């Protein structure tokens, strides 16, 4: 498989090169040259296939030429070693829980997949690769965990001081080895701006091979299609029109689901549920795409004003607005509405949602008011303990900590404080 740049001014590359580069030289996102539907017998028999096999057959075309069949199989065994349970709320509503991985948020699958690819690709490389990433919370932990101990890879994570939860901060500052945390006196936008500047700084890129581990990287983005395929495996027998509601920030997760749809998976509608950062819902209403500055919300992993992956979604729908609108609905919710949803679902169903999942729930319920005979799945993208304070205050209960978290909270954090770009640059150029 070849990948081309959506910037339109860079050469086509292999999967391996796309992963190592992160972004194309023209600053465009990489996109697969072709997405060919899987054979009908795959969809006819999906309920009889092992999870590993489902993922393997869907993904092989995307890595062909860069990973052998055996390498892909070995990577998938390591990546898919925890469950993705579906919980029924009622006959029209199911929750797809994606938080059973090591850092309790859905980013574990993509981060581990990318880390394992880098492990394979760096085997014969002399040059060390630096993975540079800014996080508003969840990316940092998943990347730290996924890349820990991967030879030939140094990871540098920037996070905004005082703006991530205690659990999130420990997950990225306590591992040591090849994982380095920089605590930035500033906001997430400041972290992100510094990372972008570093990628454009030839004094750095002349000396260090830099790559990104955000969902712009194809190895982080595409494996997220597995969630949808595995959910479909379980839900197919119900024989109802399927709707996925995805709490969305950078729109990587939902875009991967749309790739699964392109591969032939029957989906009636995708719903992109957002918090107050409503660039996409506004676009679907007005047909004007106007990026905004991000605003802070209680679902902080979705505080994105200019979603990086939206250009990939547009490409999937051939840049045709009407085609896009036929497949995608998008709704935005305030923090108050989100908290009320957490309360409602807890009292009605005795289920505890995190703020991101709650936004997904609200989007699904809105769509289903007009489409009652659908089977709606909303993605629960993080464990509620990751947002302990908000959830406990909203529900006035205390949530038991899952195993491993108590130990994590006792570990000593190690990070380096930086104030500005010059300090990041000096750090990256140090030997």
Where do contacts with ligand PLP occur on this chain (CB under 6 A)? Answer: 105, 107, 138, 215, 247-253, 301-302, 356, 381-382
DSSP state of 238: G
Q: How far is 281 from 328, CA to CA, in rounded Å?
A: 10
Q: Is 91 a catalytic residue?
A: no
Q: Which residues, 6+ apart, have CB-to-CB distance to 431 below 8 Å?
A: none
Token digits of residue 361:
């729930």
Nearer to ligand PLP, 60 or 86 (CB): 86
Give min distance, CB of 259 to ligand PLP, in A: 13
Nearer to ligand PLP, 102 or 119 (CB): 102
Closest C-alpha to 227, from 67, 58, 355: 58
Q: How far is 285 from 289, CA to CA, in rounded Å?
A: 10
Size (the chain), residues = 431
Give min distance, CB of 1 to ligand PLP, in A: 22
Handedness of CA 78, 83, 86, 89 (dihedral sign): negative
Give min distance, CB of 97 to ligand PLP, in A: 12
Q: How far is 171 from 88, CA to CA, in rounded Å?
A: 30
Which CB contacts under 8 angstroms, 24+ apart, belong to 70-75?
71/120, 75/113, 75/116, 75/117, 75/120
Q: Is the backbone of residue 358 left (phi > 0), alpha (psi -120 to 50) or beta?
A: alpha
DSSP state of 411: S
Cβ-contact 313, 251 below 8 angstroms:
yes
Give min distance, CB of 369 to ligand PLP, in A: 23
Alpha-helix runs per DSSP H in 31-137: 40-45, 51-63, 69-79, 107-121
Q: How far is 301 from 296, CA to CA, in rounded Å?
A: 10
Q: How far is 242 from 260, CA to CA, in rounded Å?
A: 13
Residue of 27, 73, 78, 107 marked active site? 107
Closest C-alpha to 133, from 85, 177, 199: 199
The CA-based angle 197-192-330, given to 5 degrees, is 130
Q: How far is 381 from 301, CA to CA, in rounded Å?
A: 10
Nearer to ligand PLP, 173 or 381 (CB): 381
Q: How far is 377 from 360, CA to CA, in rounded Å?
A: 9
Distances (CA, A) of 255 to 252, 260, 270, 336: 5, 9, 10, 27
Token digits of residue 134:
């800014």
Nearer to ligand PLP, 52 or 334 (CB): 334
Q: Give the catalytic positions in this structure.
A: 107
């Amino acid at each position: 498989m070849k990948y081309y740049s959506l910037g339109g001014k860079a050469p086509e590359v292999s999967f391996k090169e796309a992963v190592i580069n992160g972004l194309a030289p023209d600053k465009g996102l990489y996109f697969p040259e072709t997405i060919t539907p899987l054979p009908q017998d795959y969809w006819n028999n999906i309920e009889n296939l092992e999870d590993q096999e489902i993922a393997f057959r869907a993904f092989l075309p995307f890595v062909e030429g860069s990973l052998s069949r055996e390498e892909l199989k070995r990577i998938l065994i390591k990546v898919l070693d925890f469950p993705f349970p579906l919980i029924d709320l009622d006959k029209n509503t199911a929750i797809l829980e994606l938080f059973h991985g090591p850092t309790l948020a859905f980013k574990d699958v993509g981060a581990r997949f990318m880390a394992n690819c880098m492990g394979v690709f760096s085997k014969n490389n002399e040059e060390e690769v630096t993975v540079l990433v800014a996080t508003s919370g969840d990316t940092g932990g998943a990347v730290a965990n996924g890349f820990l101990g991967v030879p030939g890879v140094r990871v540098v994570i920037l996070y905004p001081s005082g703006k991530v939860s205690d659990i999130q901060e420990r997950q990225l500052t306590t591992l040591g080895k090849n994982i380095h945390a920089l605590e930035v006196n500033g906001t997430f936008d400041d972290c992100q701006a510094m990372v972008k500047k570093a990628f454009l700084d030839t004094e750095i890129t002349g000396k260090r091979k830099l790559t990104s581990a955000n969902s712009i990287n194809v190895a982080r983005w595409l494996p997220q299609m597995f969630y949808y395929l595995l959910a479909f495996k379980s839900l197919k027998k119900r024989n109802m029109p399927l709707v996925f509601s995805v709490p969305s920030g950078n729109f990587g997760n939902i875009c991967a689901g749309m790739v699964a749809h392109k591969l032939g998976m029957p989906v009636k509608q995708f719903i992109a549920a957002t918090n107050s950062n409503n660039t996409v819902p506004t676009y679907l209403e007005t047909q004007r795409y106007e990026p905004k500055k991000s605003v802070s919300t209680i679902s902080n992993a979705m505080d994105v004003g200019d979603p990086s992956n939206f250009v990939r979604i547009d490409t999937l729908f051939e840049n045709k607005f009407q085609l896009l609108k036929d497949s995608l609905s998008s709704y935005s919710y305030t923090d108050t509405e989100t908290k009320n949803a957490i309360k409602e679902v807890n009292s009605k169903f005795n289920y505890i949602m995190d703020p991101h999942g709650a936004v997904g729930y609200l989007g699904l319920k809105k769509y289903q008011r007009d489409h009652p005979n659908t089977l709606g799945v909303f993605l629960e993208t993080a464990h509620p303990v990751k947002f302990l304070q908000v959830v406990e205050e909203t529900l006035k209960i205390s949530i038991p900590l899952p195993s491993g978290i108590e130990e994590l909270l006792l570990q000593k954090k190690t990070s380096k404080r930086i104030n500005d770009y010059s300090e990041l640059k000096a750090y990256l150029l140090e030997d």
